[in-house]
């Protein structure tokens, strides 16, 4: 029987690791905001979709320190939209208690899962 060692497993590259983060985070966010995963990045301007995308961009950009280009490639949104959303996050957190509580629980769940 062949013994498993370090070289038995393929190396996980940076892109694969980012996709793992993205999939886990999007799953958590969609569950919290009651949005189907395939609809989070559709062109929809209702508040729950805006808040979900804002939360997603903030976590990927600030918490996981991903580059704008990486987030842009994963989500399909322009870098200026991502920057604008991260800036709006600060306003939403400041004035919307419901959003703040929801985001705090999402961040805690993300830290537990990842």
Q: Where are the domains of the chain?
A: 43-114
The per-residue pLDDT for range 30-87, each reduced to its tens digit, is 999 999 988 888 888 899 999 999 999 999 898 888 889 989 988 889 999 999 999 9
Structure confidence at residue 3 as a pLDDT band (50, 70, 90):
very low
The per-residue pLDDT for range 21-31, each reduced to its tens digit, is 788 889 999 99
pLDDT confidence of residue 20: 77
- Average pLDDT estimate for 3-27: 65
Q: Distance of CA 74 to CAs 16, 66, 104, Å? A: 11, 11, 23
Nearest to 112 by CA among 14, 37, 40, 24: 24
Residues in the chain: 114
pLDDT confidence of residue 98: 92
pLDDT confidence of residue 13: 65
Nearest to 83 by CA among 63, 103, 68: 68
How far out from the chain centre does Cα 31 lie? Answer: 12
pLDDT confidence of residue 92: 92
Is 54 in contact with 89 (CB distance < 8 Å)?
A: yes
Take residue 34 and report the two structure tokens written for it. Answer: 């009651």
pLDDT confidence of residue 22: 84
């Amino acid at each position: 029987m062949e013994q498993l060692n370090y070289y038995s497993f393929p190396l996980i590259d940076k892109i694969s690791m980012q996709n793992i983060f993205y999939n886990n985070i999007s799953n958590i966010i969609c569950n919290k905001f009651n949005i189907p995963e395939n609809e989070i990045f559709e062109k929809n301007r209702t508040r729950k979709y805006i808040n979900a995308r804002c939360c997603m961009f903030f976590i990927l950009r600030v918490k996981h320190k991903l580059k704008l280009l990486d987030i842009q490639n994963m989500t399909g949104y322009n870098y200026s939209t991502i920057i604008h959303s991260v800036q709006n996050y600060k306003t939403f957190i400041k004035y919307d208690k419901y959003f703040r509580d929801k985001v705090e629980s999402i961040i805690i769940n993300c830290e537990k899962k990842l």
